[in-house]
Structure 1
Amino acid sequence: MSKALIPVRRSRPRGERGAATAEYAVSIVAACGLGGILIALLKSPAVQTALKAIINYALKAAGVDGVQL
């Protein structure tokens, strides 16, 4: 007769109980900061001009003429 296995819960030591939550919070703040920087860069006229030039070059290479962004 075999006994049913009872799952064992392992708890973290008292000093590390909120560590995972704090790590997630730091990751979220870093991701939001990076997103803010990317938005600021994409709104700058220099980057917009460069992106338009790249898109126009790709369109011309694909054979689509007469499209200007």
Structure 2
Amino acid sequence: MSHSSTIARRTTPGRLRHCRTRSERGAATAEYAVTIVAACGLGGILVTLLKSDVMLNALKHLINYALKLAGVEGLEL
């Protein structure tokens, strides 16, 4: 096998797609960081909503309704 055929085999287009350039090294980490920040923001909004009196009453009514449908009587939240 000649030297030029070895180089050609190492640099096939399929293999080049998997190589990252130096400028893309932290791209995956940045994407994970953005996702984590978005998830934390959404979690904060949900906690704030669930602490409100309106949402607590809605959840209590929903649970009481589900208990009545299941046949559990006499238990109210």
Provide the aligned C-alpha RMSD in A. 1.6
User: Greater helix share, 1 or 2?
Assistant: 2
The partner residue of 1:50 within 44, 47, 58 is 58
Find the counterpart in structure 1 of residue 7 from structure 2: none
TM superposition shift of 1:11: 3.8
Distance 2:70 2:31 in 1: 46
- Bigger Cα Rg: 2
**Which consecutive segments of 4 or more residues in structure 1 shift more than 2 A?**
none
Q: Tell whether 2:68 aligns with 1:60.
A: yes
Find the counterpart in structure 2 of residue 34 from structure 1: 42
Structure 1 spans left out of the alignment, 5+ residues = 1-7
Structure 2 spans left out of the alignment, 5+ residues = 1-14
Distance 2:71 2:22 in 1: 65
